[in-house]
Structure 1
């Protein structure tokens, strides 16, 4: 931090005191404790593999029944609704990259406290789901990478941001059916240096999982390049 920043920061804090971006409470950096406590957990009845909710009618997981995902297991911190949905929207669409810090720390705490069904694993590296360079320039940052940096730092895991890249710009996944999502992502990812992932157990990080198509496509590419196993962790599911 520069000397000028050290001098100006106290005055700027007085003029523009930190507020929770969701409820506007003073004194909170981006996300206050009260809002964080309102994050709804994922349903208790979820698929052991993909981490998504099971069908209320029974019969197992319809996501995995349609197409078995390429990743070994996936888990999310909370349901994509209410406070968490609002926080992700601020982070992703409202130019609030600073949301990565509180959300990443919450995700790290969740990973440690709940073990997210990954407790018996030793990860060799953590990888964010990549964004195409054009979309990254338009947004200014890759929210999954920002989240992954905080998570990797807090969990003490190596971070690989160049081992998985996006080679083709795709349509936004929002609103697409499962089949359309899979078709949209076909050929969109690549591993430029297979030796960086070969024989390794990897943890993918993304903001939201809806059907698991993006995580599955990434995992398939990583495994084709020689990865031993690929697991996934997201902020939200739904």
Structure 2
């Protein structure tokens, strides 16, 4: 597998190259890959062997103050206010499905994560999900919604607090009959939103849930830890 995807605009983007956590997609040290393929956060989760969702990412999402020049991360942030980023970012998801995670094409339905906490006129995740559904001929459903207003999870730093904040506050307006789901979002920071969405989807009859995101958060400290392990 290549480590760099050359997009149609000749931009080279680094993909999220293995090994990564089997549950949340977070990069893990090379030595973990064959013996214990989980990150520290997922290792002791009580649902580790049967998680509500498994998350996969095209590339890394990096904080602007740590890596201000990262193209993918800047485009993901730009997508929140500018729909012109949609075609080029959809290209990244197509590459992920066709080259990184081809099994995702076999899932039954594509669903976007619900609209965020801001007042923007569109849902970036829905635009990405529509592109994926159209390209691969997979049914598209926009059925998740916020059943109660909650704080933006990006403003909460503790992952346990994030999970408590969103718990019980996501609704679903569709009854499934065991269909497998490809849940689309722009980023994965801790996975709290994806886990809650998957729990709700399965409570409404969905089968297995996988999530594909453009960028998996990897901060500078984590990258340094990986380098130390791999040296």
Q: Normalising by structure 2, what TM-score?
A: 0.76
Deviation digits for residues 178-206 of structure 1 (CA, Å, limit 9, x no counterpart): 10110111112112232xx2311111000
Determine whether 1:62 maps to 2:50: no
Q: Which residue of 1 aligns with 2:27?
A: 53
Determine whether 1:111 maps to 2:90: no
Greater relative contact order structure (CA < 8 Å, 6+ sep): 2
Query: 1:57 Cα deviation (Å)?
Result: 8.9
Q: Which residue of 2 aligns with 1:33?
A: 9
Secondary structure class of the residue paired with 1:208: strand
Q: Which residue of 2 aligns with 1:9?
A: none
How many Å separate the matches in 2 of 1:34 and 1:120?
26
Q: Which residue of 2 aligns with 1:172?
A: 152
For the 8 Å contact 2:105–2:136, the answer to whether it is kept is no
For the 8 Å contact 1:105–1:154, the answer to whether it is kept is no
Deviation beyond 6 Å, 4+ runs, structure 1: none
Shift in alpha-carbon separation, 1:63–1:55, aligned structure 2, 3 A = farther
Secondary structure class of the residue paired with 2:10: helix
Q: Which residue of 2 aligns with 1:154?
A: 135
Query: 1:66 Cα deviation (Å)?
Result: 4.5
Query: 1:211 Cα deviation (Å)?
Result: 1.4
How many Å separate the matches in 2 of 1:168 and 1:34?
43
Pick the aligned partner of 1:139 from 88, 113, 120: 120
Pick the aligned partner of 1:130 from 101, 114, 133: 114
Q: Which residue of 2 aligns with 1:86?
A: 74
Pick the aligned partner of 1:207 from 162, 175, 186: 186
Deviation digits for residues 54-98 of structure 1 (CA, Å, limit 9, x no counterpart): 268966421212434743422100011311111011111xx2112
How many Å separate the matches in 2 of 1:216 and 1:142?
19
CA RMSD of aligned residues (A): 2.3
Secondary structure class of the residue paired with 2:213: strand
Question: Gaps spanning 5+ residues in structure 1: where?
Answer: 1-30
